[in-house]
Structure 1
Amino acid sequence: MSAELVALMLADARLPTGSHTQSAGLEAAVRDGLADDGRRLADVARYARDRLRTVVRVEAGAAVVARHLVLTGRDPLEVVVHWAARTPSPALREIAGRTGRGYLRLAERVWPAVLRHLPRDTETPRPVVLGVIGAVCGLDAAQVARLTAYDDAQSVVAASLKLLPVDPAAATGWLVDLHPDIEACATAVAGLTEPGDVPACGAPVVELLAERHAVERMRLFHG
């Protein structure tokens, strides 16, 4: 299977990993007033852009480093403690572990070589799993970083269609407009090789909203 096809598969929101249960924090942000009940829809794209510059850069960096560790014969789990130190919200770490488990279950069926590097059916953080899949399937560092960034942006955009009165064509336009930010994120981390190199780009408001959302009794998305 070509690396290009693998990248396309992983970027497909229909991939059975459970990602459809995630809004990349948009539900919590909307509950907190983002977009003002549909009167400021441009807030959605700004929110996705802010994530690409902060929490997503951390995840993309961790994914790139995990890939490099596999390719150099090291344990990709070395990066977990560094990623966790840069992801102080327990809720965000739990979400990453839950989605990572979904990717691991899929990898066991489709790319079983991944399990040579990671324990099966565990809550390994999603960026680490993506990095290992990338290493096993021949994706380069930029592809892994771009995939991580794109997946987050499209999660925000897709969730907006369920949470706000959004025209799907307009939402697609937002995603197109985010491409320079996705590329900037990928470029910033593609050269990383060591766990300590993972960026520390905090987003306290995103982390606070994630903590609030984790204890909401009425919610459409898990995260």
Structure 2
Amino acid sequence: MQRALAARTPVAPQRTASAALGRGVHRLARRLAPGHPAVTALSALDGRPLRPVALGALAAVLPATEEELAHAVVYDELQTIASAALKLLPGDPLDSVAWILAAEPEAARAADTALAVRGPGRLPARTAPLTEQWALDHARRERRLFLA
């Protein structure tokens, strides 16, 4: 799964950010259940599991269902965006909560779409060329807005 995800993340700064976030999730999983087979498997990835792989291992440790994990990840992404928006364009934090609540139908669809994927060969290979270019440009800037 790790290789399939890396292949579908063609821009190095995005893979690097995913690996940085994955290391944090791996650290949490190791703290919770150091001997768990999923945690041990992450360690075999040279300490650089991509975030989705590490989240899958964390779900196995907790244990969380696939549905719980998919919904948690989608809402985590939404809150990350809302939090970043407040840093870039300060405003009322309640507005960002309203944005997340308004996105609920799309969030549920995104989680359902993720749950329909069965196996690495079925992973979508969608790209967002402009977002990828922004990631490359951001990595070359001296003053960055965000690291991951």
TM-score with structure 2 setting the length: 0.89
Distance 1:200 1:146 in 2: 21
1:140 deviation in Å? Answer: 1.5
% identical aligned pairs: 35
Instruction: Tell me the equivalent position of 1:72.
Output: none
CA distance in 2, matches of 1:137, 1:191: 22
Q: Which has the higher contact order (CA 8 A, sep 6+)?
A: 1
**Structure 1 contact 134–140 (Cα < 8 Å) conserved:** yes
Q: Which runs of 5+ in 1 are unaligned?
A: 1-78
How far apart are the structure 1 equivalents of 2:99 and 2:33? 32
Letter in 2 for 1:196: G
Among 8, 24, 29, the alignment partner of 1:107 is 29
- What secondary structure, in the 3-state scheme, does the structure 2 residue paired with 1:117 have? helix
CA distance in 1, matches of 2:6, 2:17: 12
Residue 9 of structure 2 corresponds to residue 87 of structure 1: yes
Change (3 A) 1:165 1:136: closer
Match of 1:165 among 80, 90, 106: 90
Correspondent of 1:118 among 32, 37, 42: 42
Amino acid at match of 2:42: L
Output the TM-score relative to the length of structure 1: 0.61
Matched residue, 1:65: none
Asked if the contact 1:141/1:191 (under 8 Å) is kept, the reply is: no
Matched, 1:96 2:18: yes
SS in 1 for 2:116: coil
CA RMSD of aligned residues (A): 1.6
Using the TM superposition, name which of 115-124 and 133-142 deviates more: 115-124
1:178 to 103, 106, 127: 103
- Residue-by-residue CA offset, 1:9-63 (whole Å, 9 max, x unaligned): xxxxxxxxxxxxxxxxxxxxxxxxxxxxxxxxxxxxxxxxxxxxxxxxxxxxxxx
User: Is the CA contact 2:79–2:100 (under 8 Å) kept in the aligned structure 1?
Assistant: yes
Query: How far is the alpha carbon of 1:221 from its aligned partner?
Result: 1.5
3-state SS, counterpart of residue 88 of structure 1: coil
Q: Which amino acid aligns with 2:101?
A: V
1:207 and 2:140 equivalent? Answer: no
Q: Assess if the C-alpha contact under 8 Å between 1:111 and 1:133 holds in 2.
A: no
Matched AA of 1:130: L
Residue 99 of structure 1: CA displacement? 0.8
Is the contact made by 1:80 and 1:128 (CA closer than 8 Å) also made in structure 2? yes
Shift of 1:108: 1.3
- The answer on whether the counterparts of 2:29 and 2:57 sit within 8 Å (CA) in structure 1 is no
| CA shift for structure 1 position 109 | 1.1
The Cα of 1:95 is off from its aligned counterpart by 0.2
Task: Count residues with an aligned counterpart.
Answer: 145
Structure 2 residue ranges without an equivalent (≥5):
none
Task: Name the aligned partner's letter for residue 118 of structure 1.
Answer: L
- The residue that corresponds to 1:42 in the other structure is none
1:144 to 56, 69, 90: 69
Contact 1:84 1:93 in 2 (8 A): yes
